[in-house]
Homo-oligomer: A and B are copies of this chain.
Amino acid sequence: MARVWDAFLTAQDKASLKTRPHQVWGFGERPALVLIDLYRWVFGDRRQPLLEAMKEWPGSCGEAAWDALPHLQRLLGASRAAGIPVVHVTGLHPLDSGVIGWAESPGRSRINTESDPAMAERNRRRFDIVDEVAPLPGEVVLRKSAPSGFFGTLLMAQLNALHVDAIILVGESTSGCVRASCVDGRAYRFKMTVVEECVFDRHQAPHAINLFDMHEKYADVLGVDEVVAHLGSLPRAQTAERIRSL
């Protein structure tokens, strides 16, 4: 099967990969859907080509974000229908916490969000999860201030409380917070599935190569059709019973 990363690998990369079969992790028995950073800052308020969008929304991922949305909505719907836990992770706003952000440093210039009122308004909305995939009442929302959804959050505790053994991972960016969350999820020994159409990135080569890295080392990178089909096969009653009995 052709994969998005094939075009970026070198001849030697491909030769070494041929020397052994690819390993598959498989789905677990009690999966959770974890959505990373589906917030306004990377979408902006409307679909625009990347370089246009970045003028107003410097963190934009351009059309890649909007292309992922229908797939995300489909997967989220299937997860809710299957009754598996859904965890939304977004940013902890410095204005709410006072915490020094992980991307801040004196040598690094920040976006000036004070002199430009429109930018200040966008900045205040930066970590709002977009309406299309907004949490339902009762769904868990965690706020982080590091690349990984596990770092400095209750994610591990919450998944353990729910007896989750596998994570279906989506969101952005492929080469940033999704990648970091995937590594930590595997470090904690969850079975990890990354849904290819449901992750996106501003940069094309890093998107492809980080999918490769995750598929080689930490996760199964699968298409949304396959994951939705799997969710449809889960025994719904058992799932509901499990959560009720916690």
**CA A246 to CA B21, docked complex, whole Å:** 21
Which stretch (A35-43, A120-128, A188-196, A223-231) binds chain B? A188-196
Task: Please give the residue numbers on chain A whose beta carbons come within 8 Å of chain B beta carbons, in ascending order.
Answer: 5, 8-10, 12-13, 15-16, 19-21, 23-26, 50-51, 54, 58, 92, 96-100, 102-103, 105-109, 135, 138-142, 145-148, 151-158, 160-163, 165, 175-176, 179-180, 183-184, 186-191, 202-206, 209-210, 212-213, 217-218, 245-246
CB pair A102 B157 closer than 8 Å: yes
**CA A58 to CA B175, docked complex, whole Å:** 27
For A147, give its contact among B139, B142, B187 (CB under 8 Å). Answer: B187
CB pair B205 A8 closer than 8 Å: yes
**CA A16 to CA B48, docked complex, whole Å:** 14
CB pair B156 A188 closer than 8 Å: yes
For A161, give its contact among B13, B100, B135, B139 (CB under 8 Å). Answer: B100
CB pair B209 A12 closer than 8 Å: no
CB pair A102 B187 closer than 8 Å: yes
A87 to chain B minimum Cβ distance, whole angstroms, is 8
**CA A26 to CA B204, docked complex, whole Å:** 27
CB pair A140 B97 closer than 8 Å: yes
A164 to chain B minimum Cβ distance, whole angstroms, is 9
CB pair A152 B157 closer than 8 Å: yes
CB pair B203 A13 closer than 8 Å: yes
For A51, give its contact among B15, B23, B109 (CB under 8 Å). Answer: B15
CB pair A145 B160 closer than 8 Å: no
Residue of B nearest to A29 (CB): B163
**CA A5 to CA B58, docked complex, whole Å:** 23
CB pair A183 B152 closer than 8 Å: no
